[in-house]
């Protein structure tokens, strides 16, 4: 799928991949949604193959990245310039942040995580709707976005992240 270049493409891509993600989940048995992931030789070298132990962990990972976007955009739109990644993290250490997200949600239930993710997706889509194509896809439009575009951040936490989750679930289902 090509990267979105307009607001309507961004929303469509996010909603399409989000729907695909839920369709895959809905095709799994209830037991399959609850048991621990075991990828065996299908596991990649990336840390998430070891970190995320079940579907709930995938939900909370996606949710927390939605929250990063919502908090970052909200603060900056309100005049409080902040980095996308909270202190002390940066793009070299964000893997540690992901582990902290994982730890934070070990007592979050599957149902809670599912609701949190669905709600945060809706909030992200509503946030995207606030901006124009120019605001989303023109470089330099907002000082707080740096050298990227706001749309690239939105794509990253929606359709691109959903692609990641879909691949992870498909790998898991192959082993089931």
Give the Cα separation of 116 and 47 in Å (integer): 23
- Alpha-carbon distance of 14 to 124, in angstroms, equals 10
Band the pLDDT of 35: cuts 50, 70, 90: low
pLDDT score at 48: 53
The per-residue pLDDT of the chain, averaged, comes to: 90
For 7-36+44-175, CATH gives 1.20.120.450
DSSP assignment of 33-48, as one string?
HHSPP--GGG--SSTH
Question: Quick one: pLDDT at residue 46?
Answer: 58
Least confident stretch, 6-20, 22-36, 61-75, 77-91: 22-36
CA separation for the pair 167, 162 (Å, rounded): 9
Q: Which helix (H) or strand (E) holds 161?
A: helix 159-175
Query: What's the pLDDT at 30?
Result: 74
The reply to whether omega before 88 is within 30° of 0 (cis) is: yes
Does the pLDDT at position 55 exceed 60? yes
**pTM for this one?**
0.91
| pLDDT tens digit sequence for 118-168 | 999 999 999 999 999 999 999 999 999 999 999 999 999 999 999 999 988
Instruction: Identify the weakest region by mean pLDDT among 31-45, 58-72, 106-120.
Output: 31-45
- Radius of gyration, CA atoms only, the chain: 16
Q: What's residue 69's pLDDT?
A: 98
Burial class (CB in 10 A: 0-12, 13-18, 19+), 19: exposed
Higher pLDDT, 126 or 42: 126
171 vs 37: which has the higher pLDDT: 171
Q: Domain residue spans in the chain?
A: 7-36+44-175
Interatomic CA distance for residues 149 and 155, integer angstroms:
10
């Amino acid at each position: 799928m090509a990267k979105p270049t307009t607001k309507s493409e961004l929303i469509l891509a996010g909603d399409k991949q989000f729907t695909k993600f839920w369709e895959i989940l809905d095709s799994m048995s209830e037991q399959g949604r609850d048991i621990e992931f075991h990828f065996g030789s299908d596991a990649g070298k990336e840390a998430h193959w070891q970190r995320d132990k079940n579907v709930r962990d995938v939900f909370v990972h996606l949710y927390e990245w939605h929250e990063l976007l919502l908090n970052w955009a909200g603060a900056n739109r309100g005049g409080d310039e902040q980095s996308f990644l909270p202190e002390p993290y940066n793009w070299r250490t964000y893997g540690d942040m992901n582990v902290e997200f994982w730890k934070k949600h070990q007592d979050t239930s599957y149902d809670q995580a599912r609701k949190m993710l669905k709600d945060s997706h809706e909030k992200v889509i509503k946030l995207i709707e606030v901006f124009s194509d120019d605001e989303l896809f023109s470089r330099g439009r907002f000082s707080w976005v740096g050298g990227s575009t706001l749309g690239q951040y939105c794509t990253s936490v929606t359709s691109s992240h959903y692609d990641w989750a879909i691949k992870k679930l498909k790998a898991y289902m192959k082993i089931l």
